[in-house]
Structure formats: C-alpha cells, structure tokens
Structure 1
Amino acid sequence: MPELPEVETVRRGLQSLVAGQVIEWVDVRLPRIIRSPSVDEFVHELQNARIVEVRRRGKYLLLDLGERTLVSHLRMEGHYGVFLASEPLLPHTHVIFHLLGGQELRYQDVRQFGTMDLLLSDHIPHFAPLHLLGPEPLQENFTPTYLRDVFKKRTTSIKATLLDQTIIAGLGNIYVDEILFRAKIHPTQSAQSLSMQALRRIVASTQEVIADAIVHGGSSVKSYVNGFGEPGQYQFSLNVYGRTGQACVVCGSEIVKSRVAGRGTHVCPICQKLPRKTRR
C-alpha cells in the first residue's frame, strides 16, 4: 500500500501536471470506486470543474475543486497517470478525467480497492476518517511529549501503535520497520513502556526516514509509480524491510522476519534488542 512518502510524491507530480486544468467530463468504468455521491452525481458535479490544487492528508489525496473536494484513497495498488487522449488505455483503468486541451487524468487499480468521495469542501474537516487522523510526521505537533501523552495507556506493541493512523498519519509497514530500526527499538516492545529518550529517538527517526523517502520519491517494492509513471528509489536505501537473511548494515547480524501486529516485520536482533524490563 502506498504510504505517506509515495502519496506525497504522487501529490507533487499531479500538482505540477493537472493543477489549474479543467475537467470536461468523467468516465467511470468501475462504479464501486465511487463511494459518494452516486456515480451520476459524481460525473455531473465534476463536469467543467477546475482543479485548483492537489493536497494530501495522511495517505489520502485531496483534489481541491473550489466548492468541492475529491478525496481519493489509493489503498493497495491504486495510482494516477496523465496521458494524451490518443494514447491507448492501460489495463485496469477505472476512472478517466477528460481534461480541457486533450489530456486525460487516469486512475488505475489492479486490486480495485481504491475509493473516491466527492464532498463539499467545507465538509472535509468533519469527513471520516480524515478528521480522525493523527498529526503528520513532519508537523511541529509531532513531538516526544505528544507521544508520551498518547502512549501512556497503550499496552499494544510499538509497531501496532505506530501503524494506528489516529496516532500518526501516513505510516505503514515499510516505514515503521525502518523507523524502529533507526530508533533501535524492538517492534514488540509495548508503547507505554518507552522512555522519553526512546520517544525522542522515534520522533527523530520518523522525521528522518519520511523526509528522506520523499526526497527519493518513495519506495517501489511492488507496483508503485508516481504521476509521471516513474518508480520510487528509496527501496535501495531500506535497512531492514525486505532484507530477510541479509546482513545488518550496522552490525552485520542477520535480519530476521517475524509477524507483529499481523504484519511481516523485519528486525536486527542485535541492534533492536528487547529489554528484559522497561520503565518510563
């Protein structure tokens, strides 16, 4: 699933490609992608709408259309691309936004899990799940003190806690593994047991990993490409994710894969030792 760095990379690409353009009409080829309103209303309201800006919140893309906003969740393998109208459709193209001037913004989704909601813009602050999302990792309100306050009643593992979008917006399996490795914290350690020193490491590691991943265009470990059809490059900088059996880049120990919070989890057993006793 695209995580924050991938969605931010897509956002930046679409901002440069389609911001300011007018949608002449929309062709919805897979109706279930449209959650709200009805497909007929969706098509009608988007006719002649101008794309003012492309924004992001967590893993969601928001196409600002003035009075309305299109909220798009890419889910597992959804992605956008801009094509000339004369170019043949690629497989699994489900929604086509025909732009004034002969280009098309096309949404493709092999797994068909992505969703789109067209809302009045002043309803966005109250739209679930957007209003439930925690702070962005690169925002000023993402601090060790914030984590201390939200972790104090969390007996779940730190991995499960960081994956919770209501605590931090945009993190997924790849980047949580990388963050915990940099922070030298075992993913099964309970969130409430972490010291302030450990929380400072989590904040610093999160900001470093996310910022670096954005610079490199995200990670293409499966089918992800940006709005220009280009793969990300951060997968070549991953320290633990997807490196089962390989040597740790720090200590040389073998990276081990297990299952934590229902997700495949990659750990260096030496750099990320689980303390026998943990106290705040």
Structure 2
Amino acid sequence: MPELPEVEITKRGVAQHFEGQRLLKCTVREPRLRWPVQNTVLLCEGQVLVRVARRSKYMVMEFGPHALVVHLGMSGSMRIVEHGTAWEKHDHIEWQFDNKLLRYNDPRRFGSVEYAQALPGWQQTYPRFGRLGPEPFDPQFTPAALFEATRGKKVSIKALLLGGEAVVGVGNIYACEALFRSRIRPGKAAGRISRLQAHALHAAVVAVLGEAIERGGSTLRNFQAIDGELGHFQLHCDVYGREGQRCHRCGAVVKRRVMNQRSTFYCPGCQL
C-alpha cells in the first residue's frame, strides 16, 4: 500500500510537472473506485492547478475554488504520459494539461478521487481529515505529544502508530523500521512506553519517513513515481522482509509475526 513517503513522492512529481498549468480535460474512464467518482470532478476543467498538497496519505490538487482529494488505496499510482498514448488496462482517470497527460492507474480499485469545494479553511472541516493526527514533520508532532498520545492505551505501540491519531503516515513498513531503531518491541502496550522511549521513537519515525522520501519510497508491487522511477527504501530495511536473517545490530535472528492482520518484523534480541 502506498504510504506517506510514496504519496509525498507522487505529490512532488505532480507539483513539479503540472503546477501552474491549466486543466484542459478530465476523463473518467472507470468511476467504480473505492467510492464512485462523481461528475463534480469535471468542475476542475478549465482551471489552473494552483497547488498540490498532501494530508497524511491523501494528495490534494487545488484548482482555485475546486479541489480533488486523491487516495492511492492499495495499489494506485500516477504517471505522466504523452498525448496519444494508449490506455492501459487499469488506467481509470486522465487529466489533460497544456503539455502532457496525467493518468491514475489502480489494479485493485481501492483508491479514490473525490471533489471538494476549496473554500477558506476547508481542509479543517473535510470529513476524510477529521480524525487525522499531526503530520510527522509538523512542529505539533513532538516527543511530548507522542508520549501523551500513548498514555492509558492498551493497544500495541505498533497499532497506535498505524492508527493515525498519534501521528499520520506511519504505515506497516515504516512502523517496523522505526520501532527497530528505537529498540521497542512492536507488541508492547503503548501505555507502557516510557518518556525516554517516546523520545527515541519520535526521532526514529521522523528519520525513517525522511529517508524513505529521499529514497523514492518503497516499491513492493505496484508503486512507481509519476516518471516511472521505482522506490528503493525497501532495499535498505533493517527488519522488514528480513525474517530468518541476522539482525545488523545484535546478530539475533529477525522474526515475523502477524499483528492486526499485518506482517510485523522485529528483532527479539534488541527490541524490548
């Protein structure tokens, strides 16, 4: 599933190539995504793409008074194509700009493209953003805030990270890696995390997500940047996908267990 780093890479690519350009035409070839694509998305036609932003795992394309909120779902990606390029099997939506085309591809169709009226402050009231926590690179996300978010919580610390209320965008791969770096066992109850551990985990979350963005995200199946470049963070993981291999830090054998229906990788030797 594309997580925050992958969405950030997509956002930067769309901004670099299309910000400031006028949307000439929007073609919805397959409206049956996670939520049906409404005809209101066509209101963006004729408008200039003023800004491309991101909130958690959502990419926001702002066209003056109109906005499109895009979620890549489990298998979605966007790519630049030249005019006249044949549609691929899972291409569902196309945006035609002044120079090139932008297409949304999603084999499993769990993603979404939704319209929103871009009134002042609209993101604060937008339903999809209602329960989202702070961004990992936002000043509001502090070690103290993370520690406070763990108080009284019986769920595992990994589940808390994935939940998106303590901090957004920490998907499965990045949660495993951040917990390894901070030496915390994934199944440990969030409420038992010490203040010192919260500080270490905060630093690890910020570092892991920052490095993932620098490395183009993680490509496990479908994800690619809009220019076709594949991510390679997964090639540098300390524990994720390394079941049965030796820990780089202490030499113990990396283990895998299923938590909340997700594969969780950790080192039993140095994560306590």
User: How does the TM-score come out when normalised to structure 1?
Assistant: 0.93
Check conservation: 1:177, 1:240, Cα contact below 8 A: yes
Question: Shift of the alpha carbon at 1:138?
Answer: 1.4
Of 73, 94, 108, 2:71 maps to: 73
Determine the structure 2 residue equivalent to 1:54.
52
Alignment of 1:100-249 (within 5 A): 100-101=98-99, 103-122=100-119, 123-249=122-248
Distance 1:171 1:159 in 2: 9
CA 34–254 in structure 1, closer or farther in 2 if over 3 Å, else same: closer
| 1:157–1:261 contact (8 Å) kept in structure 2 | no
Q: Which blocks of at least 5 consecutive residues in structure 2 are unaligned? A: none
Q: Hey, what's the Cα distance between the residues in 1 that align with 2:207 and 2:4?
A: 13
After TM superposition, the structure 1 stretch with the greater mean CA deviation from structure 2, 45-54 or 56-65, is 45-54
Q: Report if aligned partners of 1:34, 1:117 keep a CA contact under 8 Å in 2.
A: no
What is the alpha-carbon root mean square deviation over aligned residues? 1.4
Q: Is the 8 A contact 2:77 2:222 kept in 1?
A: no
C-alpha distance in structure 2 between counterparts of 1:137 and 1:168, whole Å: 6
The SS at the match of 1:69 is: strand
Does residue 81 of structure 2 align to residue 83 of structure 1? yes
DSSP 3-state at the match of 1:132: coil
Any unmatched runs of 5+ in structure 1? 274-280
Whole-angstrom CA distance in 1 between matches of 2:128 and 2:164: 9
Question: How far apart in 2 are the matches of 1:191 and 1:237?
Answer: 27
Post-superposition CA distance 1:12-67 (Å, at most 9, x none): 1111111111111111111123847732x322x02212111111111100001111
Change in CA separation of 1:265 and 1:2 when aligned onto 2, cut-off 3 Å: same
Deviation digits for residues 220-242 of structure 1, max 9, x if unmatched? 12211011111012111111111
Residue pair 1:76, 1:114 contacting (<8 A) in 2 also: yes
Secondary structure of residue in 1 paired with 2:147: helix
1:169, CA displacement in angstroms?
A: 0.9
1:52-109 alpha-carbon deviations (Å, 9 max, x no partner): 11111111000011111110010111111111112222220000112234x2110000
Aligned residues: 270
Aligned position for 1:276: none
> Separation in 2 of the partners of 1:36 and 1:131?
21
How far 1:170 moved relative to its partner? 0.8
3-state SS of the aligned residue for 1:49? coil
Letter in 1 for 2:92: H
Q: Percent identity?
A: 34
Deviation sequence 1:116-146 (CA, Å, 0-9, x none):
1111112332112213210111111111211
Residues in 1 aligned to 2:36 and 2:259: alpha-carbon distance in whole angstroms: 34
Instruction: Tell me which amino acid in the other structure corresponds to 2:117.
Output: L
